[in-house]
Amino acid sequence: MKAVVRQPQWADSSQGLGRWIERLISIGLLRRPLFFQARQLIIRTAERNGIPWRARRTMLRQMAGPVLSDVTTPGLVPPDYYRVRFHAYEQGNLCWQAATEAEQATDAMALRIWPAETLSPLTAQTRLRDAIHQVVDPLLSGPVQRVLDLGCSVGVSTQHLSRWLRLRAQARHESPACIQGLDLSPEMLAVARVRDSEGIVDSWLHAAAENTGLEDCSVDLISLQFVCHELPQNAIHAVLAEAFRLLRPGGALVMVDQDPASSVLQRLPVAVATLLKSTEPYIEQYFSLDMADALHSAGFRNLRIEACDPRHRVIACLR
Ligand SMILES: C[S@@+](CC[C@H](N)C(=O)[O-])C[C@H]1O[C@@H](n2cnc3c(N)ncnc32)[C@H](O)[C@@H]1O
């Protein structure tokens, strides 16, 4: 029997609060000042909490500009669903502003998970990533030699994965894995490259997660962190099929994203829900998808589904 997917009622555009929010944000004259105010608030709050938002943006832009052509696959045309407004950036993920603010936004997101605690951005980020790794760890069998982080953005997930796997390999007297990050945004990849000053990620690939061009059965671990809520359902199915093709038999997939059933998301204040819905074009499709069912249909087995914090869910499984 299929599980009933419990999406928050503010997300459902066909009725009630969801429909009301949808109408409100479709009016550009209302949406733009809302975005502007929200951006100012996010930046001010982040800087107060130890994230040097604007200084970091300037620095990353200067450093990343010169490496853009090195990380760009010439002629790659992103799918239409990708070329839309995301996170209040008119050019979505395909612009410098989004790329040079992604690290700060990721740290601000990690800090928001534990509002009652005073954490440094690094402590919050490390706690979030450690909890994700802990869910997949029991599924890993044998040495992990090749790892692919799909939708790596500016490499925060990729670097945390790499540090964890290096320690794991060391403890097991194994050689470190080859770690690759893959994303559709060349600007994000350019920032990822310059952020990785330790050189702990082997390469940054500019490709679509649903069409990587990599060989069958060549990867031991695939990570898909905070990506699925940015995809329409048909693209989620395509990415899962590609992950299945790339993994060796017994290889593992770990995904993390918002948990539609979490009480935090179910009870989101209307203003915040409005903002979230207006900046995430596919959030409703993501919330209404039965992810466990989608994974089983793609061929995955041994699903472990765990909350890694009050608002996110990790799903780890095997090919
Ligand atoms: C929220 S970010 C993920 C951040 C990162 N994985 C982390 O956990 O810190 C989502 C990323 O997915 C990328 N993305 C979205 N659709 C994609 C696709 N079809 N193929 C590759 N990357 C994609 C976006 O460019 C963006 O950088």
Domain range 9-318, CATH class? alpha beta
Q: Which of 205, 230, 253 to mutate to test the pocket of ligand 1 (most atoms within 8 A of CB)?
A: 230
- Distance (Å, rounded) from C-alpha 10 to C-alpha 278? 12
**Nearest atom, ligand 1, residue 256 CA:** 8
- The answer to whether the CB of 227 is under 6 A from ligand 1 is yes
Distances in Å between the alpha carbon of 162 and those of 93, 152, 191, 201, 219? Answer: 24, 12, 17, 7, 15
Ligand 1 centroid from CA 182, angstroms: 8
Determine how β-strand 312-318 pairs with β-strand 301-307.
Answer: antiparallel
Q: Could you list the pLDDT tens digit for every one of the 319 residues in the chain?
A: 555 567 777 667 676 666 666 677 677 667 777 778 878 888 999 999 999 999 999 999 999 999 999 999 999 999 999 998 887 787 889 999 999 999 999 999 999 999 899 999 999 999 999 999 999 999 998 889 999 999 999 999 999 999 999 999 999 999 999 999 999 999 999 999 999 999 999 999 999 999 999 999 999 999 999 999 999 999 999 999 999 999 999 999 999 999 988 888 888 777 677 777 778 889 889 989 999 999 999 999 999 999 999 999 999 999 9
Distances in Å between the alpha carbon of 58 and those of 54, 96, 142? Answer: 6, 10, 43
- Where do the structural domains in the chain lie, given as residue ranges? 9-318
Q: Give pTM, 2 decimals.
A: 0.92
Q: How many residues does the chain have?
A: 319
